[in-house]
A and B are shown apart, each in its own frame.
Chain A
Amino acid sequence: MSSLRRTPLFALHRALGARLVPFAGFEMPVQYRSILEEHAAVRNAAGLFDVSHMGQIHLEGPGAVSSAEWLLSCPVASLHPGRVRYGMLCNETGGVVDDVTVYRLAEDRLFLCVNAANVEKDYRWIVRNAGPDTRVEDRSARSALLALQGPASAAVLARVCELPTASMKRFAFVEGAVAGARALVSRTGYTGSDGFEIYLAAGDAAGVFEALLAAGRESGLQPAGLGARDTLRLEAALPLYGQELDDTTSPREAGLDRFVKPGGFLGAEAIARRHAAGDPRALAGFVLEGRGVARAGYGILHDGRAVGVATSGAPSPTLGKSIGLGYVPPALAVPGTRIGIAIRDRAVPASIASTPFVKR
Chain B
Amino acid sequence: MIFDRHPSPIELSRAVSEGPSRKVAAHLQRCATCAGTLAEWRDIDSLARELPSLRTSAERRERALAAVLREERTASAPQRARPTWVWGSLAGAAVAALVLVVGGSLLTSQPAPPPVELAQGPTHRGTIRPHAGARFTLESGAPDEVVRLHEGTISVDVEALRPGERFRVIVGDGEVEVRGTSFDVTAMGDSLAKVLVDHGVVEVRAGSRQVVVLVDGESWEATADRGVEEAPIDVPVPSPKRRPVAGPPDEPAPEPTVGAASPEPPSVDPAPPRHPMAELFDRGWKQLRDGRPQEAAQTFGEALSKYPADPLAEDASFWRAVALVRAQSSKEALGALTSFLDAYPKSNRIGETSALLGWILLGKGDVDGAEARFHAAEADPVPSVRASAQKGLEAARAMRHNQTAPR
Q: Are A and B genuine complex partners?
A: no
